[in-house]
Amino acid sequence: MAARSPFDLTFKVGVSRCVGVFWGKGRSIRSVRTFKTPPPGESFPESALDSLLEKESPVSNVFISAVASIPTDPFADSFRKRGLEPVLFSHGDYPFPIHYNPPESMGSDRLLSVLGAVDRFPRLMEGSFAVVDFGSHTTMTVFHKGQVVGGSIAPGISLSLGVIGAGRVVLGDRGRTLRPSRISFPGRSTEESIQAGTVLGAVRSVEGLLFDAEDALGERFEVFLTGGLSPIVRPMFHRFCFMDRHLLHRGAIRVLRGE
């Protein structure tokens, strides 16, 4: 039996979970694996990483990125124990100017997602677009004429749902899932009202911020949605939006391979 070609791995450390994307030749995604991010103060789940690497092997190169609040050193050390020297995100090597104060405070997850959008559509280099990540937080990152010019950060939809009524009204039943067809305004029950205020409210907030940014910069944006909840919220937008849940990883694999 012929030996398999080694895979590249792009590894994101998020607030609630870690996501590993294994890449084959070109831009083909071999598989996507996830596990919970350990809470602050808890040790790295070595067994979870072993399982991650055992399912897709051999791995030749690893790239690690993390949200701004989470250090990458413990994760990098765990890969090194397994003979893999990871490539870490560097703001200094980022290909676009970052107009943020200070630039290094913008999370690599946001910057790599912008790079992933440009990787998909190179024509965007000369235009304006926004990447909206509906994950643990709802973030927007704006790219305008070759530069990252800032954006917004808000509590994520799941976090907001968990705050109202301690999450019991909507999240208490694990069998329930958020369905776009069932979220509308006005809500006809307490549960529907909470979903209208949090889910639909988050979408309308993003649309309002997009309008403000377009007004300020004098140009209409193209919009990319990413993050775990992007398939749920996409039908609620009043404008066309691209959607790619792996934008960050598309930017990461470009950096890892030096492309």
Residue 191 DSSP symbol? H
Locus of tokens 């090597």: 93
Q: Which two tokens stand for residue 4?
A: 């398999």
Q: If you count DSSP H runs as helices and E runs as strands, how many of each does the chain have, helices first?
A: 8, 10
Rg value, the chain, Cα = 19
Question: What is the C-alpha separation between 202 and 179, in angstroms, rounded?
Answer: 15
| Candidates 50, 73, 109, 244; catalytic one | 109
Question: What is the C-alpha separation between 83 and 75, in angstroms, rounded?
Answer: 13
Concerning whether 244 is annotated as a catalytic residue, the answer is no
3-state helix, strand, coil in the chain (%, to 5): 40, 25, 35
**Alpha-helical runs (H) found in 122-180:** 157-163
Q: Which two tokens stand for residue 150?
A: 């800032």
Residues known to be catalytic: 109
